[in-house]
Structure 1
Amino acid sequence: LGIVSEDYRNDQVANVGDETLFGGQIEITDDMWEATGVDIQIDREDSPDVGTIIIYHVTAPWIGNWPINTHIYSDSTSQQNFRGILRKIEGSTASIEILPDFEQQYHCWGIQARNKEQNYALSILTDPEIDFVTIAGDAGTGKTLLTLAAALQLCYEDKFYDEIIVTRATVPMGEDIGFLPGEEEAKIEPWMGAITDALETLSASPEGNDFERKSGLEFLKNRVKIKSSSFMRGRSFSGKFFLIDEAQNLTAAQMLGLISRAGPGTKVVAIGNLKQIDTPYLSASTSGFSYAIDRMRN
């Protein structure tokens, strides 16, 4: 009848694949390095925790209003395999800290990165200075595995946090199968298959026997507390590593309610895939995960 249908745009952030949703990384090309007015100063600082930290102070006309903790990379001829994180911007000077090499040199709980994005993930997950992280990626890109590896490393090797808490929205992919028996832990267990699968991978020792693998898995399971997001209202976590799994299924209000559970010394990590939303009436542009990526970027 000539009536135009319009989407409600007020609370939207960005669509999947849209350039307006922040990707977390910026490339410096050959032309940018060779532009006039580019000056590079290199500082080295000794840290008792991580050894020598290399910081590039880059002054250039193309330095923009980049968000802090953005990953800066370059595969140019002059700066090959340049992988850094933006720590500070003052005018047209950016301070870029070179990241540890998790692809070749280091590993995290036995896990090594397979590409630069996984290297970014492991670097930022194991950085105790950064207490809120969002990781968006397609299925099978290692979001849960990398996050749990970093959590185990920080909690039980480096002793930065007391324990690991995992939560997720209990939204089924298809038809619901009805009520689940048992207490909260038993009811939430079927939803946490992804966590159990990742822990199985992390507990598998190539030279260990079957008994050692099973006991290793039970040890890791006991170290990870699984909680339902339905009972999070009013709770406070201090000194914890708090993982929000399948964050794409949360509304903006639910996401705010969960990340505000963090007390002093808590690191919050939200992971998800905006192409796998199971919640009715939520889209990639209205998901609370998109909100967290967009509104917390700086």
Structure 2
Amino acid sequence: MSTKSKIFILDTNVILHDHKCIYNFKDNDVIVPIVVLEELDKFKKGTDQIHYQAREFVRNLNEIAGEQLFNEGVSLGEKRGKLFVATGKPFTQAMEDSFFEKSADHRILAIALYVKEKFAGRTVTLITKDINLRMKAKSLGLKSEDYTTDQVKDIDVLDRGVQIIDNFDTTIIDTLYNSDGVAEGAFPQQDLPANQFFVLRNGNKSVLATYDPFSKSIKRVEKQGAFGIEPRNAEQTFALSALSNPDIKLVSLTGKAGTGKTLLALASALQQNKSYKQILLARPIVSLANRDLGFLPGDVNEKIGPYMQPLFDNLSVIKHGHGIKSRENVMIEEMQRDNQLMITPLAYIRGRSLSDVFFIVDEAQNLTPHEVKTVITRAGAGTKIIFTGDIEQIDSPYLDKTSNGLAYMTEKMKGQDIFAHVNLIKGERSYLAELASDLL
């Protein structure tokens, strides 16, 4: 080992989050405790993203592993450090006094303490996405940090999808209300993000507008409904504008519960059903209270039913807006029967190439950045992908506001011509739901 570089010890959850993580520590050395390999062995079989990450890491480790992996380490490449696998170490007296169980986490701590003592002149840091393990490490005098490589640097980007400008030039506001609804040079010498939305107002005059990156002009956004669903505020109007714009292929809708994210996306998809071969609604299955699908009774369809129910609820809202025997409801039932409208767990999408599909991914705040990338790279010609979610309601134990895939994707895609983002603020489900969301 180099005497100058740092040493990073990885927890299992870091690898399950990003199987390429060992390459993201520059010229510093990386240690994978043997217990981590033991834990990864439990994740090699399965269809979820963590199972994929485990398999890919093990395959990669097999390719680079040599006889020195447990001794002198193997190089991770030019201008990178070395990779080591550390075997189990005895508990120190401090650990014996604090932790009675020799769990996987505690065995990782034992290895980290051994490395810290052996290489006293170097900075040793345990990298884990487990907050509780970080606290345990610090109680033993170990430096511990979260894995931050793919974390959002500017979380406020989620709030900048819509910009409100007061005292705006009334001449330009009047121009935007002309028949063509276009204003050239409205923001002279400003580099505007593509598909940025604006509320431009001055006194009793106001207009909703957006910057069109293709014509490089400001355009008025007209209030328009979709499949019987009417926008109730400016943000919903902007959302429907982005959802119905064929030039925008990727949309992120964020906001608290009840703001209409999924409902608007589904209504817009149904409105444009003739433009796409299929409408897909998917959401990740995140088990609550440590109960996965195996705890639920019935076959696979009955097991996934409770997880998919919120999507069916949104579809019911749209159907109830029309008559029972209406043309719209008949069309929806025919689309479901012919698999032109499908509601499915996100894991079932793996390996598919999606062409001419309107693809809605609900609860995207529970996805890792790598999972979001995997979804987007499924997109074939003519496909439009919508991610919806609330970063205040993350169910995954190893994700937070800055590390979830929805926020990461929004930050990275901001400013791209085919991307638009809207943060929905006002709850429209009911006054009760809005009150509970704000106060409880």
TM-score range (shorter-chain normalised) is: 0.7 to 0.9
Equivalent residue in structure 2 for 1:136, among 241, 246, 254 = 254
Q: Which runs of 5+ in 1 are unaligned?
A: 46-51
* Cα deviation digits, residues 169-203 of structure 1 (max 9, x gap): 110243315425324x4443321111111111101
Confirm whether residue 83 of structure 1 aligns to residue 208 of structure 2: yes
Equivalent residue in structure 1 for 2:398, among 281, 290, 294 = 281
1:21 positional shift: 3.9
Residues 120-159 of structure 1 mapped to structure 2, 5 A cutoff: 120-155=238-273, 159=274
1:231 positional shift: 3.3
Residues 97-112 of structure 1 mapped to structure 2, 5 A cutoff: 97-102=219-224, 107-112=225-230
Letter in 2 for 1:287: N
Equivalent residue in structure 2 for 1:248, among 351, 358, 365 = 365
- Aligned partner of 1:64 in structure 2 is 190
Any conservation in 1 of the 2:173–2:207 contact (CA below 8 Å)?
no
Any conservation in 2 of the 1:188–1:226 contact (CA below 8 Å)?
no
Equivalent residue in structure 2 for 1:28, among 161, 165, 176 = 165
Percentage of matched positions with identical amino acids: 33
Distance 1:147 1:276 in 2: 19
Confirm whether residue 267 of structure 1 aligns to residue 393 of structure 2: no
Residues 221-240 of structure 1 mapped to structure 2, 5 A cutoff: 221-222=336-337, 223-240=340-357
- 2:309 is paired with a residue whose SS is helix
| Alignment coverage as a number of residue pairs | 272
- 1:242 is paired with a residue whose SS is strand
More strand as a share of residues: 1
Kindly name which structure, 1 or 2, has the bigger radius of gyration based on alpha carbons. Answer: 2
1:72 positional shift: 1.5
- 2:275 is paired with a residue whose SS is coil
Any conservation in 2 of the 1:40–1:59 contact (CA below 8 Å)?
no
More helix as a share of residues: 2
Using a 3 Å threshold, how does the CA distance of structure 1 residues 141 and 76 change in structure 2: closer, same or farther? same
Letter in 2 for 1:176: R
1:257 positional shift: 0.2
Distance 1:268 1:130 in 2: 9
* Cα deviation digits, residues 117-165 of structure 1 (max 9, x gap): 000111111111211100001011011111110010000xxx1111101
Using a 3 Å threshold, how does the CA distance of structure 1 residues 43 and 147 change in structure 2: closer, same or farther? closer
Letter in 2 for 1:270: F
What value does the CA root-mean-square deviation take over the aligned residues? 3.2
Distance 1:130 1:114 in 2: 22
Distance 1:40 1:81 in 2: 7
Structure with greater contact order relative to length (CA < 8 Å, sep ≥ 6): 1
Distance 1:276 1:249 in 2: 9
| TM-score, scaled to structure 1 | 0.79
- 1:58 is paired with a residue whose SS is coil
Distance 1:213 1:127 in 2: 22
Using a 3 Å threshold, how does the CA distance of structure 1 residues 286 and 41 change in structure 2: closer, same or farther? same
* Cα deviation digits, residues 60-93 of structure 1 (max 9, x gap): 45x5332100101113227x23111111399xxx
